[in-house]
Chains A and B, each alone.
Chain A
Amino acid sequence: MKTAVQYEESLRKLDLTVYMFGEKLENVVDNPIIRPSMNAVAKTYEMAARPEFEDIMTATSHLTGKKINRFTHIHQGTGDLVKKTKMGRLMGAHTGCCFQRCVGIDALNALSMTTFEIDEVHGTEYNRRFLEFLRYVQDEDLMCDGAMTDPKGDRSLPPHQQEDPDMYLRVVEEREDGIIVRGAKAHQTGAVNSHEIIVMPTIAMREEDRDYAVSFAVPSDTSGITYIMGRQSCDLRKTEGGNLDQGNLFYGGHEALVVFDNVFVPRERIFMLGEVAFAGHLVERFASYHRQSYACKTGVGDVLIGAAQTIAEYNGAQNASHIKDKIIEMNHLNETMFCGSLACAAEGHKEPSGTFLVNTLLANVCKQNVTRLPYEIARLAQDIAGGLMVTLPSEKDLKSPEVGKWMEKYFKGKAEISTEDRLRILRLIENITLGTAAVGYLTESMHGAGSPQAQRIMISRQVNLKEKQKLAKRLCGVNPE
């Protein structure tokens, strides 16, 4: 396994083409806006090496028998799935943000099944290729971007009917030694902190979409790939030189638009090529795992609840009955998300490839809760925090010889608590509920792993309504026929 330091060194060796604020970045790793997101991924390496976390953070490779970082593991039982849920909470709690590495483990596990099943039907050799790639990822302890979401253009049209055919990533040329692909993947979490980009189709496809039914993995610095960094609310605070206004001093997340401009993919790295019937198979499996992964929001919720209780104490309001009740409610909602993720893991099963898959109905229920509950938890945190979390002047004013004394005086809460400590907690609540970390805690909770409607469709497909009707009819004497 890599150490956090080795991980950072490995990123420095990448030759990525990254743009931010209209300029090409020469040094990605040390860029103050990107660096907190690198720190968050590095934390997944650091914690795997610590005895008090390794039971969750590491696993035994089913390929080599070696100890590996769990983020590169293929689930061999429901115990592994449960540990993945716990790992999400643990990492969310220790970073207070999106730590970016779950999308890679979900892509790996989904591909371990889909490649196997394509081979069964088509006699292809995708699973062998995939397992070779997996072994490399495990041996080198790599960070993988799971790249599913296409820009999608007109949402009412399938890929082949888009006015611009590149709105979904596609194969533009097939050669003896590989393929050339063109298109883009949007909202890519942790993209510039990744060693490998794993590309998957984003929707179920028909025969006419054959060129779009493609999955592969390429090194992140492959020629023809360009990253355009997404900006986040309050991102420039990281460049101001202080350490109060950014709220979370150490960690953050990032997303990027990843453009594939005629990128060559060697044949050995292709895991699906034109098998349209399996595009939906891969999407559903990836989405199910990824909907489980949102246990991470319980970890971020732990931080937010801790911050809310702390500001209540700093304000002298912690004994008010409605404040106590709101803290209870926040915990109730937070643990509800954890329950869903744990339940779909514990109810997992073995697929033909040998990989364990979560219970897909419960995974969708879990994620549907996640599209809502963090918003309510955030609302309660803002209620408890008071308005100062959004009207607070800057750290520079606090340090100003002219007006700093007024801030010290008028922003004081309880006598024994320093004004600065009170302001730090307020900034953390701001960060998670409407600053840089709200990208992960709120809007990613809404859309990541699919917008709410995607889960509702899956729930409606999987519940047995007829059986429920039978139960009701039997109890009240209605003829079941």
Chain B
Amino acid sequence: MKSRIFGIKYCGGCNPGYDRLELIDSIKTGLGEQIQWTSFEDSRADKVLIICGCSTQCAEVEHIPQEKRVWIHTPDFDRSSLKE
């Protein structure tokens, strides 16, 4: 049974410091079946992962409610926060 819904929003990726799609794949694998994935525009999302290629974190997020935003700009972020 999937318990939570996560949206994904990317920055535009002009000069990323790592492979953003690879990171998302590894996050999906790590979280397994418990998460249903959707677009950042889907209002059902509990959290929206904002995947930015560098620390500028220039993704436009005004349509994403503040409390849902999870900013990620490096593959070395603390993954335990996603399980909360």
Contacts and interface: CB of A to CB of B under 8 A. Distances in A.
Contacts of A93: 14-15
A357 interface: no
Interface string B12-32: 111100001100000000000
Nearest to B59: A55
B39 A89 contact: no
Contacts, number: 43
Scoring B8, B11, B15 by chain A CB atoms within 10 A of each residue's CB, the highest score goes to B15
Contacts of A387: none
A66 to B, nearest CB: 15
Contact of A90 (B8, B12, B39): B12
Contacts of A83: 12
Interface in B50-84: 51, 58-60
A51 interface: yes
Interface string A247-279: 000000000000000000000000000000000
A438 interface: no
Contact of B15 (A52, A53, A54, A89): A89
A87 B14 contact: yes
B10 A90 contact: no
A366 to B, nearest CB: 16
A56 interface: yes
Contacts of A56: 11-14
Contacts of B15: 86, 89, 93, 302, 338
A51 B39 CA distance: 9
B8 A86 contact: no
Contacts of A52: 10, 13, 20-21, 51
On chain A, which size bracket covers the interface?
Answer: 10 to 19
A51 B8 contact: yes
Nearest to B12: A56
A434 to B, nearest CB: 26
Contacts of A53: 10, 12-13
A57 B59 CA distance: 12
Contacts of B13: 52-53, 56, 90
A387 B15 CA distance: 30
A220 to B, nearest CB: 29
A358 to B, nearest CB: 17
B14 A90 contact: yes
Nearest to B14: A86
A86 B20 CA distance: 16
Contacts of B60: 55
A232 B34 CA distance: 55
Contacts of A302: 15
Interface in A6-61: 51-57
A273 to B, nearest CB: 39
A86 B12 contact: yes
A208 to B, nearest CB: 46
A57 B10 contact: no
Interface in A305-346: 338
A87 B8 contact: no
A293 B41 CA distance: 31
Contacts of B51: 52
A55 B11 CA distance: 6
23 contacts: A51-B8, A51-B39, A52-B10, A52-B13, A52-B51, A53-B12, A53-B13, A54-B12, A55-B59, A55-B60, A56-B12, A56-B13, A83-B12, A86-B12, A86-B15, A86-B58, A87-B12, A89-B14, A90-B13, A93-B14, A93-B15, A302-B15, A338-B15
Given A51-B9, A52-B10, A52-B20, 17 more contacts: A51-B8, A51-B39, A52-B21, A54-B10, A54-B12, A55-B9, A55-B10, A56-B12, A56-B13, A56-B14, A57-B12, A82-B58, A86-B12, A87-B14, A89-B15, A90-B12, A93-B14
Interface of A: 51-57, 82-83, 86-87, 89-90, 93, 302, 338
Rank and list the top 5 A-B pairs by shortest CB-CB distance, nearest first: A56-B12, A86-B14, A55-B12, A52-B10, A90-B14
